[in-house]
Structure 1
């Protein structure tokens, strides 16, 4: 009897048990829910020659920043699929191999070509999507639009109640400015499958873009207790609640959430999330004039340097630059800036010059040289999306520019920027800053 994945695509295994565990494992992976590894390993136990299960496990290892394990698994998958895989499975494994081995540009090209033929291959469709997907980290300035375009291109191939596709279609629209539509889609995804961290995350993002800070906190307070701390988005979802508390001008609440869920000693999240969440939240506190308790920056620095000792993704590099500036490590910041400048010249940093520009601006900001911060950052502002991540995550850079404009006496430019932001989304914090300019 033929076996199929969760969306009806045939899979090469003769074991119903392997197929069932594979379907469960991939769905758990797509929901960012604990248990995916165990399910995929059970699939392999039932059928050691099940290439797609090895490949999905490789993808999971890669997400968790376990490169050696990921490469070993994808190598196994390639060896098996070369012997008995269908054309789709060969293409599927090849695309995941490019992703796992860090060949992002080729992986994106391969994924898009694959989806032309097999648009219901959800694991491959997931690769270009998301804040840390292949589109986001491609260096494109318009990756928000690219995600929407891709989702709409394949929308008629997915069931109207497909929880995963609703989630990512919704997130893509919300990030691209169609916030009401995006929130509706993402909420439907969460209703279809509550045990879906990506849907809770997508809804939180849409609420943030609507300025619905209290709704964000209520959502997370209601939903997070049912999500195991081992879930990769647990700390990051709590970060969203802390960010909302800052919007309400409640730094004590933000720090309480940070201490309980976000800081490196308690979060079991992905290293990229732990570093970006901790650095950006502490930076926002400090930049806005709130005190950062003693020892917090040092804890983040120890974690970040241990996880990212060498230059890598632009999104990470920007946060490492903010961290070095905030902790007064000018030499480390300069070394990282020079290394990334060389990487740009070598063509291996797709985001380009905006990365060192943000880091130089951060150094100037911390030294209270706000005019210099503006001089560096203002011309680069339009290129900030090239670093990837979400609008909520990148807003820390725009905040730096806005505060530098205000503090350097550029009131007219600060007012214009605030007016554009307030037109895009209501914000209690921006409204406070807008009133401050008028005083």
Structure 2
């Protein structure tokens, strides 16, 4: 009898050792936990022709922003699965190959079809899910709902105690507005496997969306010391705690967390997280009226100069636009806006015109043209979801609009926006602003 993966799917290896290491490696990959690379390399060593072990290693390389290594390993997987693989494994490798080789739309289509045929193939089902998944970066406005729909379509295929599925099902519901239900699911998943950075992350998001920032900060303070600093989500989970402190009007606490865990010199996070976390936290501080210590913007700019230099990745483009505006690099801001405008005209930017609009708006904000910022950003506010990421990450754009409304004298519009935000997610910061506007 062929060995099975963690969820009962057959594996085309005759090596029990390779199968054991593969199961462990995928578990660690799905938890963003250190040790996944070593486990998957052991699987390959035990059976060099085991295609799925090569494919999972390729996926990990891609997650860690190592594209050349990812392409080489998925090519190795494709060569092996063609010689010795079953139908499910051939489809599995094909989906990952499309994603790794820069064909996200086709990868999404194939991943959804694969999930319909083999819903318990968690590694492939994971690709459309999450803040940085194929659905989030598809350019859709309703990707939050699409993730819920995907999870609910396949929920019957997962055991009630499947920690991975509970985590992503919970996160999807919380992001889509069913915060209480989503948090309960995420809490169950996290309780089943606490050595799970994606679990701690999902629960932090659910708490944020429920206005329970202090609970999230307490959770992170208790849990984070047990997560090695080499973990790719270490800095980002700490960013959530800094965000909570900033909402409570504790900028020094936020800066202390930033200095210890988030800034480029101390984090082993993925470039997309490091760029977005540093830029968004510093922008928020500045926009809220706090002083950003000397050197922090320069450090963020030096780090970011190595990444996302080419326009076309909407989530990164928005943050690179924020960085250029905040550091007074108007030439870089204009160059990115022009490149994005060209992509929109060519019909090759999935997220569409909202991306250059965000970059123009934040440039106006940085130049203290608050009325201009409002004029650009207000008409496209409902389209910001197209850039992907999470609600907590995208809120920076709404924060910018809100501050611009207040500073341009649009008090009635600012109050209306705050009313909607407080109804959706109460926060100490918004409560303070609302009180000031009502005075």
TM-score of the two chains, using structure 1 as the length reference: 0.99
Q: 1:124 and 2:124 equivalent?
A: yes
**Take 1:436 and 1:66, find their aligned partners in 2: how far apart are those partners?**
48
State the partner residue of 1:369. Answer: 369
3-state secondary structure, aligned to 2:339: helix
Matches within 5 A, 1:187-202: 187-202=187-202
What's 1:55 paired with? 55
Cα distance in 2 between the residues matched to 1:401 and 1:219: 30
Partner of 1:113: 113
Task: Name the CA distance, whole Å, in 2 between partners of 1:75 and 1:199.
Answer: 31
Q: Deviations over 1:61-82 (max 9, x none)?
A: 0011100000000000001111
- The corresponding residue for 1:67 is 67
Q: Which position in structure 2 is the counterpart of 1:262?
A: 262
Q: Where does 1:34-183 land on structure 2 (aligned, <5 Å)?
A: 34-183=34-183
Which structure 2 residues correspond to residues 221-300 of structure 1 after superposition, within 5 A? 221-300=221-300
Distance 2:341 2:105 in 1: 20
Q: Output the CA distance in 1 between the equivalents of 2:235 and 2:216.
A: 15
1:355 aligns with: 355
Deviation of 1:306 (Å) = 1.0
Q: Report the alpha carbon displacement of residue 438 of structure 1 after superposing the two structures with TM.
A: 1.5
1:210 offset after TM fit, Å? 1.1
Post-superposition offset of 1:305: 1.0
Q: What's 2:392 paired with?
A: 392
Partner Cα distance (2:80, 2:356) in 1:
43
- Other-structure match for 1:409: 409
Rounded Cα–Cα distance in structure 2 between residues aligned with 1:363 and 1:297: 16
Name the counterpart of 1:330.
Answer: 330
Q: How far apart in 1 are the matches of 2:432 and 2:15? A: 61
Cα distance between partner residues in 2 of 1:356 and 1:426 = 30
Q: In the TM superposition, what is the alpha-carbon distance from 1:309 to its structure 2 partner?
A: 2.1
Q: CA deviation at 1:236?
A: 0.2
Structure 1: any 5+ residue segments left out of the alignment?
A: none
**Per-residue deviation, 1:347:** 2.6
Aligned to 2:3: 3
Query: How much has 1:345 moved relative to structure 2?
Result: 2.1
For 1:343 and 1:303, the matched residues in 2 are separated by 25
Q: Cα offset for 1:342? A: 1.1
> After the TM superposition, which parts of structure 1 deviate over 6 Å for at least 4 consecutive aligned residues?
none
CA distance in 1, matches of 2:295, 2:97: 41
1:348 positional shift: 2.4
1:245: how far off? 0.1
The structural deviation recorded for 1:224 is 0.2
Counterpart Cα distance in 1 of 2:60 and 2:346: 30
Distance in 2, matches of 1:244 and 1:146, equals: 28
**Where do residues 316-327 of structure 1 align in structure 2 (5 Å cutoff)?**
316-327=316-327
CA contact (8 A) 2:312 2:343 kept: no
Q: How many residues align?
A: 439
- TM-score (structure 2 length as normaliser): 0.99
Q: CA deviation at 1:140?
A: 0.1
CA deviation vs aligned residue, 1:174-193 (integer Å, no higher than 9, x gap):
00000011011001111100
Q: Quick one: distance in 1 between partners of 2:234 and 2:346?
A: 37
DSSP 3-state at the match of 2:218: helix
Counterpart secondary structure, 1:96 = helix
Asked if 1 retains the 8 angstrom alpha-carbon contact of 2:325 and 2:363, the reply is yes
- Per-residue CA deviation, residues 84-105 of structure 1 (Å, 9 max, x unaligned), is 2111000000000001111000
Structure 1 residue 346 displacement after superposition: 2.4
What is the distance in 1 between the residues matched to 2:312 and 2:33? 27
Q: Counterparts of 2:123 and 2:337 in 1: how far apart (Å)?
A: 35
CA distance in 1, matches of 2:18, 2:283: 47
Partner of 2:428: 428
Which whole-Å CA distance do the structure 1 matches of 2:346 and 2:79 have between them?
33
- How many angstroms does 1:308 deviate by? 2.1
- Alpha-carbon distance in 2 for matches of 1:115, 1:214: 37
Aligned residue in 1 for 2:206: 206
SS at match of 1:267: coil
The question of 1:14 aligning with 2:14 is answered yes
Matched, 1:342 2:342: yes
**3-state SS in 1 of match to 2:202:** helix
Alpha-carbon distance between aligned partners in 2 of 1:135 and 1:309, rounded to the nearest angstrom: 23
**Shift in Å, 1:436:** 1.2
